Chains A and B, each alone.
Chain A
C-alpha cells in the first residue's frame, strides 16, 4: 500500500463521507418510504428499490433513506415523505417508479416540490 499524501487523506474521507452522514444523521435530505402493511401490499418495496437505485446511479452521499410504518392514509399508498434539511417535510402519494425518478430530480436535488404528486406539507399535530 503506497504512503498517503495529504490529498489521499482527503479523498479517503470523502469516499467514506456517505458512511458518516448516515451514522451522524447529517444528510442534506431524508427520504422516508412508508412500509406499513398497506404500503407493502401496494408495492412500496418497488418504490424503495427505485429510491436506492436513484441514489446509487447519481452517487449521492448526503441523502438518507429510511423506512417508517403506516402514515395513516392507506388508500393513497405507496407513499414517501421527503425532508430537505431546513424545510418542512412533504408527503408524496400514489407513487410509481416513474414518479420517484421525477421527485428525485426536481425536489431532492432541485429543491422544488413536485406539486402534482404531493399530498401535503408539514407534519400532523401530536401531543
Chain B
C-alpha cells in the first residue's frame, strides 16, 4: 500500500539541536501505535529555512506547516490530523499581526516570497537517499552534460547564465571555467570551498545538509567542462552533520557509478575526496585553502598566478563555493538564458541569505537579486521584534559593512552593496535595532578578524591589532579624537596593502560605521556615552527611588546580588547605588523585577 501522506520532519542542525530527532521518534511510535505506518510515512529532510520556528514539519500532499513541535504535541497531532483528518490549529504558524493561524506553508510570507534554485530540494527530500534526489530530476543535468554537450558548450551555458561566484567575490563563474579549461597543465582539479567562516552564515552548511547531491552533481559537470577527473570538497570540521551527509551522499553516488570510472557509460571519470578544515577562518581564502589541502600551513600567497592557472599541486584548478556549485545543475537543465532572466542587469539569478540578528523570522532565505532590503526585512523577515526601530543591516560578515536604515529601499545586488560601502559576501545578513551599538559591532568584527589573521603580512597582522586596540579604547571610554583619525588612516592602509582578502576587507566594518554612524563614535569619545547603552563602562546606573519604594518596597535583591557591594539601603526604603564603587556590570538591572534601575 503506497503511503498517502508524507511527514517532512526537518533535521537541519537548527531543528536537531532543538529536539527534532526526538519528535521524529515520537511520531514514528505513535503512528505505529495507531496502525497508520502503511499510510503515513515519516521522512527526514534537511533545513527548511524557517529556523526561528523549529522544530518544524510539513505535511504533504496538503503542504500544511507545523512549527515549534515538542514530543508532547505528538499524540494529539497524530490522532486529530493523521487519523481523523483535522489539522491542528494550535500548532500552526501565527503571523505577528493576525491572530489566526496560517495552514499552508506557501501562504506564510516567509516562504511565499522566496524563489528556490540552489535550495530547490530543501524540505522535499531525504538527503540520505539518493533515489529521492534522482526523483526530482537529480543527475539529469549530468546526463545531459555528458551525452549531449561538449565542454565548450557547458562553459558557454554557464557564461550565458551570468552566474557569479557566491562565496563573496562575485567573479563571473563561466569566465573562470573558461580560463581553467584553456589553461595548460595536467591533471586539472575541481575544488568546492565549504569553509564558510563568516559568523552567522549557514547557507553552505544548509545546502550540504539538505541536498549534498546538488553540489556533487555541480562538481561533476564542472569537471567535464574543464577537463578534470579529481574533485576535492574542503569542508570545515565544525559542521559534523553536513560532513556526515556528504560522506553518505558520496558513497551512494559511487555505488550507483555516478562517481568513479566511465560514468553513465560516457567515458568520463570523476571522483571526489574530502579534506576537513581545522578551525582557521583564513583557509576560506582560496590560496590558503589549497595550501591546507596540500598539507602545508594555511597561509595565502600573492596572486597572480590565480588558481585557475596554477592551483592545487601547481596545476590549473577551478575552485568555487558550495552555493555556486548547487546552481549549476538547474542552469544546465533549464538553460543559461532562463537563469539570466532572473535578477538584475549585473547580478543574475538568486542568492541565499542567512537572516539573523534582531529579526522575527530568523532563518535561511533564497531570493532573486534585485529584491529590496525592505522586502527582506519586513515582508519575509517579519520585522523587528518588540516593535524596535530598524537601525542597520550588516551584510557580508566580517568582510562586509553596515547599511543604515535610510537605505532600506536599496535593491540587493553585487554592485549596489559595494557602492553603499558594504559587499554581498557569502550571504550573511545581520539585522540591528536601536539597541545595537555600531562601535561595538565594529569592535566585535575586528576582534574576529584580528584573531583569525594568519600573521604572514604586516598590514593585517599589525594593522588589525592596532584597529582593535583603538576600538576597545573607545568602547571603554578612553578614546580621543586623535584615535579616531588614526583609526581611519590605519583602516585605509590595511585595506590597500594587505596580502589577501581577509586583511583587505577587515577594515570594512570600521569604514562603513564611520561613514554612516560617525555620531556614535563622537558620542563615545566626547560625551563618554554609548547611545545604545551597550558599552557598559560608559553607562551610569541609578535607582529610581519612587519605583523602588512604591513597586519594589525596597526589596534589597539588587543589594544582595551586587558583586561590588555598591548598593545601600534598608528594607522598604529607596536603595541607591554608589557610583564610585559601581563596576557597571549591569547585574542590578537584570535582577530587579520592578524596573527600578535606570541605565543612562
Contact = CB atoms under 8 A, between A and B. Distances in A.
A and B co-occur in one complex? yes
Interface of A: 1-6, 9, 12-13, 15-20, 22-25, 27, 30, 33-37, 40, 52-53, 55-56, 64-69
B147 to A, nearest CB: 7
A12 B257 CA distance: 14
In the complex, which range does the number of interface residues on chain B fall in? 35 or more
Contact of B5 (A13, A16, A35, A66): A66
A56 B39 CA distance: 11
B199 interface: no
Interface stretch (B135-143, B327-335, B429-437, B566-574): B135-143
Given A16-B132, A30-B61, A3 B262 contact: yes
B303 interface: no
29 contacts: A2-B257, A3-B260, A4-B264, A5-B264, A5-B265, A9-B140, A12-B131, A13-B134, A13-B137, A19-B6, A20-B124, A20-B136, A22-B60, A22-B61, A23-B60, A23-B124, A25-B61, A40-B84, A52-B1, A52-B4, A52-B39, A55-B2, A56-B2, A65-B61, A66-B4, A66-B85, A67-B84, A67-B85, A68-B85
A27 B85 contact: no
8 closest pairs, A vs B, by CB? A67-B85, A3-B257, A16-B135, A35-B85, A65-B4, A64-B61, A1-B255, A23-B60
Say whether chain B's binding surface is mostly helix, strand, loop, or mixed.
Answer: loop
A27 B61 contact: yes
Interface in B234-279: 255-258, 260, 262, 264-265
Contacts of A13: 134-135, 137-138, 140
Interface string B1-37: 1111110100000000000000000000000000000
A23 B2 contact: no
B483 to A, nearest CB: 58
Contacts, number: 98
Given A3-B257, A36-B86, 10 more contacts: A3-B265, A4-B264, A5-B264, A9-B139, A22-B60, A25-B61, A25-B62, A40-B84, A64-B4, A67-B84
Contacts of A3: 256-257, 260, 262, 265
A33 B61 CA distance: 13
A69 B86 contact: yes
Contacts of B131: 12, 15-16
Contacts of B39: 52
A19 B264 contact: no
A35 B265 CA distance: 51
Interface in B44-91: 60-63, 84-86
